[in-house]
Structure 1
Amino acid sequence: MASLKDLLAQRAALEQQIAETQERERSDAIAKVKTLMQEYGLSVADLSTRAAKTGATKASKVAAKYRNKATGETWSGRGLQPKWLKAAISGGAKLEDFVI
């Protein structure tokens, strides 16, 4: 069985190997990116503007389809029904009563 001192030495050696490997892989990745940027004539500015253009766009708001006339609360009809609508329907109202 290994002693605590031996295990700590092994851990230190592994941590050193991990750090060296991370640095080497990071350097390799940077070199690949630079090569691709040169090949396609890209700059850092191109990366940020293209990412913004092709990235996910914000979801637009959907128009409300149902309104609580008493409070002005609305619901688009998507997702779960809001509590105010559930309560009204369970109280005997119909969904059609809240159509805008």
Structure 2
Amino acid sequence: MAKTLQSLLKQIDQLQKQADALRSREKAEVVDRIKEAITHYDITADELFGESAPRARRARAATPKSAGKVRKPAAKKQGGVAKYTDGAGRTWSGVGKRPNWFKDAIAAGKQPEDLLISR
């Protein structure tokens, strides 16, 4: 029975999803066992990570979740100033990985200068 590429890719995708789900369950079980052992044996962060562990990491490990402290969400980073646009509202600062719309426009024969935002 000859398998097609599509059927193999579908099978790979299904197996990857199963593997990811299994790994996630196993990871949660391991974390629970570690937390239980830390509580049972009164293990401190210094004992677990050593004296050379970064201060924030030691404090986080030693502080139980029930401490009642609420963390503020991290402030959003400001994006760079837009340098390129496709005319349909999508922009790019010119820093980092090129967006697909930019690569598609270049592949279609446009030059980067054609996509510059005029100021």
- TM (norm. structure 1) is 0.46
- TM (norm. structure 2) is 0.39
When Rg is computed on C-alpha atoms for both structures, the one with the higher figure is 1
Higher RCO, 1 vs 2 (CA within 8 Å, ≥6 residues apart): 1
